[in-house]
Amino acid sequence: MIEMQDIWKTYVDGTHALRGVSVRIDRNEFVYLVGPSGAGKSTFMKLIYREEVPTKGQLSVNGFNIGKLKPRKIPFVRRNIGVIFQDFRLLPKLTVFENVAFAMEVIEAPKRIIKKRTMEVLDLVGLKHKHASLPAQLSGGEQQRVSIARAIVNNPSVIVADEPTGNLDPETSMEIMALLEEINFRGSTIVMATHNRDIVNSLRKRVIAIENGLVVRDEARGEYGYEI
Ligand code: ADP
Ligand code: ADP
């Protein structure tokens, strides 16, 4: 499903963010990406959703060869990948409903289906009753739920989450994790970068540790493994 073979990413200023990463993530896995700041975790995820392209190596996502992707095929790849950020990145002037519906409008889904599916995912994340609220009227945890609804509305096979609990208190973080586990249970592969030791050590899953652009550890049901 996601396969990296000797992936290198060198940014234009010469920074080697990834230096020969080979990893295979199968359908329906839940993977934590851990490692110090600057290790290359975000770059790893940006390559998956084609925000960046590899400098060298083979990357395939859902059968698409990402390095050689024709520009017109990019939307096909992106609609199969949902992205969740630490800072939610909701559109402040749009309602909860509109923020989620927007992701379906982009792929030109029919209006009737947009409405039905948007309310369905808002229900799944427990926010149907807040569909008319603006992001600023919601708590951090609720905003993250909206961003999760937006990420899953087009039924992606892969969800990439860059520190999704980074701005949330421990209790809210656990609620968000329960939701991500539910989404994984329903069939999406999840790749989640995190610095949250308690989560990684209590909800045991595959752990891939990256340091200095290299995979230094890859364990099924692994531990966080860092002091902070
Ligand atoms: P992490 O997510 O683990 O903190 P990143 O993937 O963000 O790591 O960064 C890996 C390395 O690449 C760091 O040295 C970072 O400064 C560098 N980097 C990230 N993005 C860019 C960029 N757009 N241009 C140049 N260097 C970058
Ligand atoms: P359900 O029966 O599933 O709750 P409704 O038909 O009652 O669905 O619609 C739920 C709400 O969705 C409506 O009250 C409306 O505020 C909201 N809604 C529907 N379409 C839009 C839209 N395009 N923009 C913003 N809100 C919308």
Ligand sitting nearest the alpha carbon of 111: 2
Ligand sitting nearest the alpha carbon of 96: 2
Mutating to test ligand 2, I would choose from 104, 121, 122, 131 the residue with most ligand atoms within 8 A of its C-beta, which is: 131
CB 61 within 8 A of CB 48: yes
Stated pTM of the model: 0.89
CB 140 within 8 A of CB 147: no
42 Cβ below 6 A of ligand 1: yes
Residue 137 CA, ligand 2 centroid: distance in Å? 18
Integer Cα distance of 157 and 62 in angstroms: 8
Per-residue pLDDT reduced to its tens digit, 86-122 = 999 999 999 999 999 999 999 899 999 999 999 999 9
39 Cβ below 6 A of ligand 1: yes
Q: What is the pLDDT of residue 227?
A: 84
Q: What is the pLDDT of residue 74?
A: 86
Can you tell me whether residue 171 is helix, strand or coil? Answer: helix
Residue 82 φ then ψ, to 5°: -100, 140
| Own/partner pairs, 172-178, CB within 8 angstroms, 24+ separation | 172/139, 172/140, 172/141, 172/144, 173/199, 174/199, 175/141, 176/141, 176/144, 176/145, 176/148, 177/203
Q: What is the pLDDT of residue 217?
A: 98
Question: Residues in the chain with pLDDT < 70?
Answer: 228
What is the gyration radius of the CA atoms in the chain, in angstroms? 17
Integer Cα distance of 114 and 49 in angstroms: 23
Alpha carbon nearest to ligand 1 atom 24, residue: 11
Q: What DSSP letter does each residue of 93-129 carry, written as one string?
A: TS-HHHHHHHHHHHTT--HHHHHHHHHHHHHHTT-GG
Integer Cα distance of 199 and 17 in angstroms: 26
Q: How many CB atoms lie within 10 A of CB 67?
A: 16
Integer Cα distance of 77 and 228 in angstroms: 35
List pocket residues of ligand 2, CB cut-off 6 Å: 95, 97-98, 115, 119, 131-132
Residue 9 Cα: closest atom of ligand 1: 12
Look at residues 223, 66, 97, 72 and name the one whose alpha carbon lies nearest to residue 160.
66
Alpha carbon nearest to ligand 1 atom 6, residue: 40
51 Cβ below 6 A of ligand 1: no
CB 131 within 8 A of CB 119: yes
Residue 22 CA, ligand 1 centroid: distance in Å? 18
Ligand sitting nearest the alpha carbon of 94: 2
Q: What is the pLDDT of residue 77?
A: 87
